[in-house]
Amino acid sequence: MSETRSITTAGAAPRGQRRPSARLRHSPSQKRQARFGYVFVGGYTLLLLAFGLLPTLYALFLAFTRNGAFVGVDNFVRVFNDYRFLPAVLHVSLYIVYWLVSLTVIVVLLALVVHAVKLRWASSLSRFVFYIPGAIAGASSVMLWLFVLDPTVSPVSGLLHAMGYESLVRVVSLDNLPVVFTIIAFWTGAGGWIVIQYGALNNIDPEIMEAARIDGAGAVKTAWHIQLPMMTKWISYMGIMSLAAGTQLFVEPRILSQATRGVVPEDYSLNQLAYLYAFRQGDFSGSAAISIVLLAVALILSSVFIFRGKLFESD
């Protein structure tokens, strides 16, 4: 009986003293940090509502109405029957496939190579060089590539001539455009993603890498069996963000269309077609229907990346 009493009272507080509260008490500095956190999150939330959620709701309203009257899916049917819609879907689809595949393979490979460089100055210099093109705005990068792709003034004109291209019009022919846009997008955006994937590699526990080295795993086996599986979430995140950017293809074909005097069609991408609906035809309902289709496709494909990449699962 005495043993039982000692066990049950072992964790009790002495008489005259209160047991410590189960709730954690935050210090004044922690409370201040929490308030600053709410301020930053609140600012983002307001911007998300103003430029994300509200425009989406307004687009939904326009997509299912015409002149203020509810018309169901009539706007979507009219857009789908437009002879320009399916070619635009094919153009954007090809571009996204080329863009995501090249981005995933080459960016991850370059990040692994940069991470494997042991000299700190060489690693820092390579990351800086990769990141430089990302500092150039989208329209400016397209203007730069207009000169690179023109065999008459290009610094790589010898290569273009060897490939059989004698003019800019031939380089940016309709069949070549998905590859051209992929090259431009990769040159502009890959550097930032290399830096992000490099940071993901730095988060891998050094003890795991050391254990692999002791077990005799080479660079290729270590990358395939350890580094790549532990980078899955970051690769998925890159895929989601790049997919969102890829579906918004607009600046590149529009500038090339103006530079080539119509060789690149004005309705090449879905965003361009939505622009024509709104500002050439005055049909904002049709334009909204296209934007909702783009949003739905992006959400579905992003969901695949999220669940396949286990983006929100804790380790």
79 close to 290: Cβ distance less than 8 angstroms: yes
* pLDDT, mean of each 10-residue run, the chain (315 residues): 45 49 62 81 89 93 92 95 95 94 92 84 79 71 86 90 89 91 88 88 87 84 88 90 89 88 89 94 94 92 82 68
Q: In this predicted model, what pLDDT tens digit does every residue of 220-272 receive, in sequence order?
A: 888 888 888 888 889 999 989 898 888 889 988 998 888 888 888 999 999 99
Q: In this predicted model, what pLDDT tens digit does every residue of 246-259 receive, in sequence order?
A: 888 998 899 888 88
- Which letter does DSSP use for residue 154 in this model? -
Instruction: Encode 238-270 in three state secondary structure.
Output: HHHHHHHHHCCCCHHHHHHHHHCCCCCCCCCCH
Per the document, the length of the chain is: 315
Q: Per-domain residue ranges for the chain? A: 74-308
Q: What is the CATH class of 74-308?
A: mainly alpha
Measured CA distances, 281 to 55, 235, 268, 270 (Å) = 21, 40, 17, 15
pLDDT at 25: 65
Q: How many degrees, rounded to 5, is the angle at CA 80 between CA 173 and CA 174?
A: 5
